[in-house]
């Protein structure tokens, strides 16, 4: 069994996981449906959102330089990182230069992608995760299983037990509100005492140099205002030309992610605190991270760079809903993860991800930026085939079948024999076990085929 | 005037349930078509296409195009095979000056059978009756690649005595996914298990859909679970063949 | 070669036409807002469960302390208030209040003056500046916001103010909330649990 198969089997065997995923993803799906139906012409809005991102990706170099110039003019310092390691090194060096002992981190998938939590630990820098879900993940010493709800895989009962074991003054009443309150007590003084605040970026505004973050908890602002230094790590594809472009994307993001019209807190940071400001950081650093994005743009995955990390594709994915996010094994799970992970971590170890999909197209239907995820997955499958990564049995089987199927007369003969053999395996209409098709008959019966094929019957009954 | 149409039977219908092909012929003839079954056809190449085997997908697509291009219209009793021809053949031959125009021409005149009957011919079944409650599953490729949703329901509504019970999650994939169901059997089983529960919860006598692959998956699961729901391709009812054996029944 | 040069070197291309970027913004799809009834539209959004803000209205700045007193009394809170160093507030009579201008970690109530209100979403728009600290608005349990009705604008596109951008331009659209545990929405995650808007109708 592959790593993916092992993880998927473990996930399927865990009834709590199914409950937990269903509770959150099911709610998200229902709320998104309502929000989309209440919005005037969401499909046209998706087309516009895709066009905005396509425009940016086509002129990415130009917009990045414009963003950089404006951010510097506002007093921020801009750093560039070609790889994940480079990005981590820049962040660690900045933390060390400011003598930081602890950092407060506001949830950022890019931070997860580049391995920042691990890099901070190696550098001996304390990390306070301030997003409630990331806090749960940190306490449990796990990895996020969803890009919007990193702790989606945990039930309330599991979170309750975790908080009771780890919080200084845990909740007594077993309600979700009481658990959130427990986390508020646990985190507030620690986040106010952090030396550096680290965030990602939902959008980078080219014409002002502003960095936009969105949260529902207000944890980004509480993590980023008090410390002396604010560090942003952002993928280079996060650019939009201007604030009104960001507004359109924000409308799409909130509705697609949670079904809300907007997140509770939407903040645009432009440079560090001004001399007369009563609060805010003295320094603002923005690390622009490539980590494979320019390569994706060059190698047929430009469509994927439109992704705004809303999570709608995974919430609506039948496979994700069964196995959750950890089974995917990468930073990004679900359909978008199945496309991204091979680009970030290589195709060979992630071959399963591009196949473990029914190509039903629901993800593409809900994607706010119209990413053709099934098409991109087919593209990966083709590459996998071309590069000889597919198992020999599959290559031989498909090759043999195609060879026969290209010879209609032989095909009729071979299938007639196969049908006869199959009919011997079944009784009263059904085949309960079928050699070479255990994957099918282990879980479901196979209808017993008719005595002769359509083509044979048709030829007998009438001449074309 | 008689409209000549070519029937692309699909490999699954050819081998596993020929009566779907005969139902398609019967309905098309009732609608005034002259149906031809081109003999050079086998499989559209979808399994190769979805496995990443571009060379074999292209070879089978060429064979299929050659078999079908002489005809004015091509009708297919499967949303996913019709979708392969309509949506993916032109993608397969992108940049191929010889084959792209031929692929596009065939794509433009290929229809899923129920969409053809309803949208192109504006036909409705007449004096067909069955006393049953049915529930309908929207197979994904037909739904999302071809926009098949209202057409089968309009046709089914014209059948006397047939009641339609809505299926919760009718647009949710059944977990078939072609080779997916045998490559990842446990995940597929979990998905189809939920689908089977949803079908049973409708209280319907019949399960209908427009794709035999999905139907075999759902019917096989329902049978294994001991359900009494009987599964048909919707075209069988529409053609007045709903009184025959359901999938997995033998006369 | 620096990372900057390496990245930008791979992204070389023609500069975009500004008109092309602007064309992407023509007639954006967005929720309908009745521009003749902005206050009513704004208040309707404010009352949505996802925003969950309460509101009151006053006719002049002189009525502000009484409105805040009303709110705090109704909430059963002390008349203690974190007040920004905004000169417009200096003319109010704050007798009976305990005032301070630096928020405590467990601040109970803070007042802020919104620069704009957005009818589309019920958002309150703030900007940092010498008279407008940011932290109190996130620390307080009760966030009390003064908004002049003439500053209510229809759409989010109207939120940015002209001129140089402040350190932070931010929109608050409801109380701090989370759905991180089983997707269940609870209020008062890390920030304010209560949001109270006082409309100034002068």
Average pLDDT over residues B236-241: 98
- Give the nearest partner residue to A8 out of B15, B17, B187, using CB atoms: B187
Distance from CA of A354 to the nearest CA of C (A): 27
List, in order of start, the domains of chain B with CATH numbers.
3-119 (3.40.50), 128-238 (3.40.50.11810)
Tell me whether A442 touches chain B (CB under 8 Å). Answer: yes
Mean pLDDT, to the nearest integer, of A310-317?
A: 98
**Helix/strand/coil for B205:** coil
Rounded CA separation C156/C6 (Å): 37
Residue C124, φ and ψ in degrees, nearest 5: -110, 130
Count of CB pairs separated by less than 8 Å, A with C: 259
Give dist(CA B180, CA B176) in Å, integer. 7
The CA distance from A132 to C184, in Å, is 13
Residues in chain A closer than 8 A to C190 (CB atoms): 130, 132, 183-184, 187-188, 191, 217-219, 222
Q: Phi/psi at B185 (nearest 5 deg)?
A: -60, -35
Contact C121 A81 (CB under 8 A): no
Across the interface, do A447 and B16 touch by the CB < 8 Å criterion?
yes
Q: What pLDDT, on the 0 to 100 scale, is given for residue A277?
A: 97
CATH 3.40.30.10 given to domain A3-294: no
**Is C21 close to A241, i.e. CB distance below 8 A?**
yes
Quick one: pLDDT at residue B1? Answer: 58
Q: DSSP 3-state assignment of B70?
A: coil
**Is the Cβ–Cβ distance between B137 and B212 less than 8 Å?**
no
Q: Give me the pLDDT at residue B2, please.
A: 80
Q: Which residue of C has its CA nearest to A25?
A: C183
Contacts of A132 in chain C (CB under 8 A): 178, 180-181, 189-190
Q: What percent of chain A lies above the pLDDT cut of 70?
A: 100
Interface probe with A: pick from B6, B11, B14, most Cβ of A within 10 Å: B14
**Closest by Cα among B105, B85, B157 to B126:** B157
Minimal-distance CA residue of chain C relative to A179: C181
A75-114 pLDDT per residue, tens:
999 999 999 999 999 999 999 999 999 999 999 999 999 9
Hey, which residues does C124 pair with through a beta bridge?
C117, C172
Q: What is the average per-residue pLDDT within A125-150?
A: 96
On whether ipTM exceeds 0.85, the answer is: yes
Against chain C, the chains showing at least 3 CB pairs within 8 Å are: A
Token pair of B119 as six digits: 């949208």
Task: Tell me whether residues C7 and A244 touch, CB distance under 8 A.
Answer: no
**Domain range list for chain A:** 3-294, 393-462
How far CA B11 is from CA of A455, B93, B146, B199, in Å, comes to 10, 22, 20, 27
Question: Quick check: A145 and A237 in contact, CB under 8 A?
Answer: no
Quote the CA–CA distance of A248 and C28 in Å, as a whole number.
Answer: 7
Q: Indicate yes or no: CB of C190 within 8 angstroms of CB of A274.
A: no
pLDDT along chain C (202 residues), means of 10: 95 87 96 97 96 97 97 97 96 96 93 98 98 97 98 97 92 96 91 97 84
Question: Does A242 sit within 8 Å of C189, measured CB to CB?
Answer: no
Min mean pLDDT across B52-66, B206-220, C176-190 is at C176-190
Q: Does A397 touch chain B (CB under 8 A)?
A: no
Q: Does C7 contact A250 at a Cβ distance shorter than 8 Å?
A: no
Contact C132, C112 (CB under 8 A): yes
**Which value, in Å, is the radius of gyration of the alpha carbons in chain B?**
18
CB contact under 8 A, B60 and A12: no
Say whether pLDDT at A64 is over 70.
yes
Q: With CB atoms and an 8 Å threshold, state whether A402 touches B18.
A: no
Alpha carbon distance A212, A228 (integer Å): 19
Q: What pLDDT score was predicted for residue B3?
A: 87
Contact C191 A251 (CB under 8 A): no
Report the alpha-carbon angle A109-A2-A374, nearest 5. Answer: 55
C vs B contact (3+ beta-carbon pairs below 8 A):
no
Give the pair of three-digit tokens for residue B18.
């020929």
Q: Does A448 touch chain B (CB under 8 A)?
A: yes
**pLDDT at residue A464 in the model:** 43
Binned at pLDDT 50, 70 and 90, residue A463 comes out as low
Lowest mean pLDDT among A43-47, A50-54, A186-190, B92-96: A186-190
C56: exposed, middle or buried (Cβ count in 10 Å: 0-12, 13-18, 19+): middle
- Which residues are registered as beta bridge partners of C111? C144
- And the tokens for A408? 């209609």
CA angle B201, B205, B211 (to 5 degrees): 90
State how far the Cα of A145 lies from the Cα of C44, in Å rounded to an integer: 36
Chain C residues whose CB is inside 8 A of the A297 CB are 10-11
Chain C residues with CB inside 8 Å of A226's CB?
Answer: 135
Which chain C residues touch A26 with a CB distance below 8 Å?
Answer: 183
């Amino acid at each position: 069994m592959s790593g993916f198969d092992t993880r998927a089997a473990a996930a399927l065997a865990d009834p709590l996981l199914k409950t937990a995923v269903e509770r959150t993803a099911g709610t998200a799906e229902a709320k998104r449906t309502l929000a989309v139906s209440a919005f005037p012409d969401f499909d046209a809005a998706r087309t516009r959102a895709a066009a905005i991102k396509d425009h940016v990706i086509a002129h990415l170099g130009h917009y990045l330089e414009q963003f950089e110039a404006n951010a510097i003019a506002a007093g921020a310092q801009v750093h560039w990182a070609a790889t994940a390691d480079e990005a981590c090194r820049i962040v660690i060096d900045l933390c060390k230069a400011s003598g930081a002992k602890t950092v407060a981190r506001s949830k950022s998938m890019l931070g997860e992608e580049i391995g920042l939590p691990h890099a901070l630990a190696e550098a001996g820098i304390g990390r306070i995760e301030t997003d409630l879900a990331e806090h749960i993940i940190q306490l449990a010493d796990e990895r996020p299983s969803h890009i919007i709800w990193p702790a989606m895989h945990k039930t309330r009962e599991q979170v309750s037990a975790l908080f009771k074991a780890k919080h200084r003054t845990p909740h007594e009443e077993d309600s979700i509100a009481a658990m959130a309150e427990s986390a508020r007590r646990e985190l507030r003084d620690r986040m106010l005492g952090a030396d550096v605040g680290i965030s990602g970026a939902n959008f980078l505004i080219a014409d002002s140099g502003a960095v936009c973050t969105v949260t529902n908890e207000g944890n980004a602002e509480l993590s980023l205002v008090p410390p002396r230094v604010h560090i942003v790590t952002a993928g280079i594809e996060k650019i939009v030309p201007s604030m009104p472009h960001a507004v359109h994307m924000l409308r799409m993001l909130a509705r697609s992610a949670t079904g809300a019209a907007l997140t509770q807190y939407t903040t645009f940071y432009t440079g560090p605190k001004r001399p007369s400001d009563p609060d805010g950081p003295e320094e603002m650093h923005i690390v622009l991270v490539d980590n494979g994005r320019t390569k994706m743009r060059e190698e047929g995955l430009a469509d994927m760079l439109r992704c705004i990390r809303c999570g709608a594709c995974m919430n609506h994915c039948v496979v994700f809903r069964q196995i959750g996010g950890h089974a995917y094994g990468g930073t990004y799970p679900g359909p978008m993860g199945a496309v991204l992970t091979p680009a970030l971590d290589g195709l060979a170890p992630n071959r399963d991800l591009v196949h473990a999909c029914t190509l039903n197209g629901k993800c593409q239907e809900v994607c706010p930026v119209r990413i053709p995820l099934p098409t991109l997955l087919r593209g990966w499958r083709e590459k996998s085939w071309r590069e000889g990564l597919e198992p020999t049995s599959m290559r031989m089987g498909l090759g043999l079948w195609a060879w026969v199927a290209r010879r209609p007369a032989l095909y009729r003969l071979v299938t007639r024999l196969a049908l006869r053999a199959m009919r011997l395996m079944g009784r009263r209409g059904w085949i309960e076990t079928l050699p070479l098709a255990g994957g099918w008959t282990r879980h479901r019966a196979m209808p017993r085929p008719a005595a002769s094929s359509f083509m044979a019957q048709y030829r007998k009954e009438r001449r074309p | 005037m008689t409209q000549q149409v070519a029937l692309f039977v699909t490999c699954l219908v050819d081998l596993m349930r020929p009566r779907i092909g005969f139902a398609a012929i019967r309905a098309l003839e009732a609608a005034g078509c002259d149906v031809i079954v081109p003999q050079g056809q086998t499989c559209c190449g979808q399994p190769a296409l979805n496995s990443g085997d571009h060379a074999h997908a292209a070879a089978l697509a060429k064979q299929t195009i050659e078999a079908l291009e002489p005809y004015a219209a091509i009708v297919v009793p499967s949303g996913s095979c019709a979708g392969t021809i309509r949506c993916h053949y032109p993608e397969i031959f992108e940049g191929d000056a010889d084959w792209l125009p031929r692929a596009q021409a065939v794509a433009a005149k290929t229809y899923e059978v129920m969409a053809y009957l309803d949208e192109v011919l504006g036909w409705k079944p007449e004096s067909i009756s069955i006393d049953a409650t049915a529930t309908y599953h929207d197979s994904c490729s037909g739904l999302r690649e071809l926009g098949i949703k209202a057409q089968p329901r309009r046709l089914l509504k014209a059948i006397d005595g047939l009641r339609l019970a809505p299926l919760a999650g009718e647009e949710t994939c059944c977990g078939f996914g072609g080779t997916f169901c045998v490559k990842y059997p446990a995940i597929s089983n979990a998905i189809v298990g939920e689908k089977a529960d949803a079908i049973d919860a409708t209280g319907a006598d019949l399960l209908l859909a427009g794709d035999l692959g999905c139907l075999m998956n759902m019917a096989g699961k329902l049978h294994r679970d001991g359900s009494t729901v009987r599964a048909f391709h919707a075209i069988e009812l529409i053609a007045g063949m709903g009184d025959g054996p359901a999938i997995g029944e033998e006369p | 070669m620096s990372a900057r040069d390496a990245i930008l070197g791979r992204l070389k291309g023609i500069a975009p036409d500004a008109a092309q970027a602007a064309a992407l913004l023509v007639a954006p799809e967005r929720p309908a807002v009745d521009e003749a009834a902005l206050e009513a539209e704004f208040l309707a959004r404010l009352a949505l469960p996802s925003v969950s803000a309460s509101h009151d209205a006053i006719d002049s700045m002189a009525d502000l302390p009484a409105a805040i007193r009303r709110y705090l009394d109704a909430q059963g809170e002390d008349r203690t208030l974190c007040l920004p160093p905004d000169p417009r507030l200096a003319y109010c009579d704050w007798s009976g209040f305990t005032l301070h201008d630096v928020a405590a970690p467990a601040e109970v109530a803070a007042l802020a003056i919104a620069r704009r209100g957005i009818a589309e979403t019920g958002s309150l728009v703030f900007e940092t500046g010498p008279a407008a600290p940011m932290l109190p608005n996130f620390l307080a349990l009760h966030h009390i916001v003064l908004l002049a009705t003439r500053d209510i604008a229809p759409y989010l596109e109207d939120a940015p103010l002209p001129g140089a951008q402040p350190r932070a331009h931010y929109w608050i659209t409801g109380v701090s909330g989370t759905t991180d545990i089983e997707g269940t929405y609870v209020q008062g995650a890390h920030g304010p649990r209560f949001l109270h808007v006082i409309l100034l109708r002068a």
